[in-house]
Amino acid sequence: MGKKRIIQKSEEELLKEREALEKKMSKEAKVGSPSAIEEGRVYIFSSYNNTIISLTNYKGDVLAQKSAGGIGFKGTKKSTPYAASKVAEALGQIAKKLGITKISVIVKGIGPGRDSALRSLINQEFEIASISDVTPIPHNGCRPPRPRRL
């Protein structure tokens, strides 16, 4: 087995990311109420190939978004529970920088990373208001294929 490689960001990239976060924080302070930045929603989308986690405010405006591929996992490693927990940890740190303490979690998809991402968010000491699953379920499904004639 090879070494696990996770992309390390340079100082310039970290400064750009910090400036973008500060811009969003100042917009929220000007436009929204003081409690707007304390509450947020976390959307976890877990597919068979990747895990994407988005952080939004109470209105639904995206504040930050992370994925397993964006952190540095490649190929089939993106869909692992370990990658999903690392994505949730990275997004949790951003949420704490923004001052968000109370979150409601919305989970979508049937990938292997959904449970571990949720557990990672719970372990980061956020006040979780609700957890809801919005995975689409087919009620009657597609039309079945015709019987094969031999």
For residue range 28-44, list pLDDT tens digits in order. 555 554 544 789 999 99
Q: Is the pTM of the predicted complex or chain greater than 0.95? A: no
Q: Provide the phi-psi class of 17: left if phi over 0, else alpha when psi is between -120 and 50, else beta.
A: alpha
Tokens standing for 86?
A: 């690392």
Query: Minimal CA–CA distance to 66: which of 45, 37, 49?
Result: 45
Over the stretch 53-80, which tens digit does the pLDDT of each residue have? 999 998 889 999 999 999 999 999 998 9
Sequence-distant (≥ 6) Cβ neighbours of residue 45 within 8 angstroms: 51, 52, 53, 54, 108, 109
